[in-house]
Structure 1
Amino acid sequence: MDLKEIQNLIKFVANSGVAEVKLEMDDVKITIRTTLEGNVTETTYVQQMPAQGVLQQPLAPQQVAPVAVVPAVPAIENAHFITIKSPIIGTFYRKPSPDKPMFVEVGKSIAKGDVLCVIEAMKLFNEIESEVSGKIVKILVDDMSPVEFDQPLFLVDPS
């Protein structure tokens, strides 16, 4: 893993809102910690060299510009919508596989039990089913993005 890939990973983690990420590959271990105050990122890079022991290089903290959170739909309009949230931590996918169509689109009517997305957690793909009937108003997460437990995924108009 080169420095450019590490820097891109730091930026991705800082913008995702995750507090800490640990990545271990064959000969590389990376830990990235972020704080919400000022979004300072602390990164520890450890590379195992054959027959040479361990080399640990703390990388300089990265300053990342604070990300402004703007509500997608004004709160007054959200009052009658139902929010479908993530039941687990993982990676959000809108399709069952790369060559298949999206599970749902904005404006599509859904019924209770319809599959809305898949969340991958620890190499297991979990289908997330709707607990309500209605129409998809907004998809709040980008495809292939990390999601947290209880993170809003969809807004549904039950009427």
Structure 2
Amino acid sequence: MDLKDIQNLIKFVAKSGASEVKLETDDVKITIKTGSDTETTIVQQVPMQAQMPVQPQMQAAPAAAPAPVATEAPAAPAEDSKYITIKSPIIGTFYRKPSPDKPLFVEVGQSIAEGDVLCIIEAMKLFNEIESEVSGKIVKILVDDASPVEFDQPLFLVDPS
């Protein structure tokens, strides 16, 4: 199962309104739980005989991640409705620059065009460049560098004017 399949599954479950979906194959076990406040996705890639000892550790880590997300997400829509919110298309780790010794992709006040790389999100050891789908000016960056992000979490506020 590749990253695109997992992303599509997450989107499907989020839209379907199901509260929990479990999928197991020979080498991957995926559990997606949605609740009224948070959405939790657990992805394990382990041999089936090693499944039991690893499972509690994997479930404990994602459970702690939604708490900061819940405090940041409501703040973005309340600020200014005239801004466009750029959201995370995947779950992973947010990076503002391509490597530690390189400059930032974008900064507050910088003008961006459609197709400009805004950040990188690392998911399952893959570095995914997140490109802008709008033109405008960066008003606010809503996530700290090297922070975990959830699917559909607001990352940037852009003034399209």
TM-score, length basis structure 1: 0.59
User: Structure 1 residues 118 and 133, CA, compared in 2 at 3 Å: closer, same or farther?
Assistant: same
When you count strand as a share of all residues, which structure comes out higher?
1
**Matched ranges for 1:28-39 at <5 A:** 29=54, 30-31=57-58, 32=60, 34=63
Give the AA of the match of 2:95.
Y
Deviations 1:110-137 (A, max 9, x none): 0111000000111111100000000000
The match for 2:83 is 81
* Identical-pair percentage: 73
Give yes or no for contact 2:116–2:131 (8 Å, CA) kept in 1. yes
> What CA distance in whole angstroms lies between the structure 2 residues aligned with 1:137 and 1:34?
30
The match for 1:133 is 135
Give the AA of the match of 2:103.
P
Deviations 1:91-116 (A, max 9, x none): 10000001000000000000111000
Give yes or no for contact 1:82–1:158 (8 Å, CA) kept in 2. yes
Larger Rg, first or second structure (1 or 2): 1
SS in 2 for 1:69: helix
Query: Gaps spanning 5+ residues in structure 1: where?
Result: 1-16, 40-65
Give yes or no for contact 1:119–1:126 (8 Å, CA) kept in 2. yes
Number of aligned positions between the proteins: 113
User: Which one of 102, 106, 121 corresponds to residue 119 of structure 1?
Assistant: 121
What is the aligned-residue RMSD (CA, Å)?
3.3
Query: Gaps spanning 5+ residues in structure 2: where?
Result: 1-37, 46-52
Give the deviation of 1:78 after TM superposition.
1.4
TM-score, length basis structure 2: 0.58
Give the deviation of 1:23 after TM superposition.
8.8
Give yes or no for contact 2:69–2:153 (8 Å, CA) kept in 1. no
Structure 1 position 102 matched with structure 2 position 104: yes
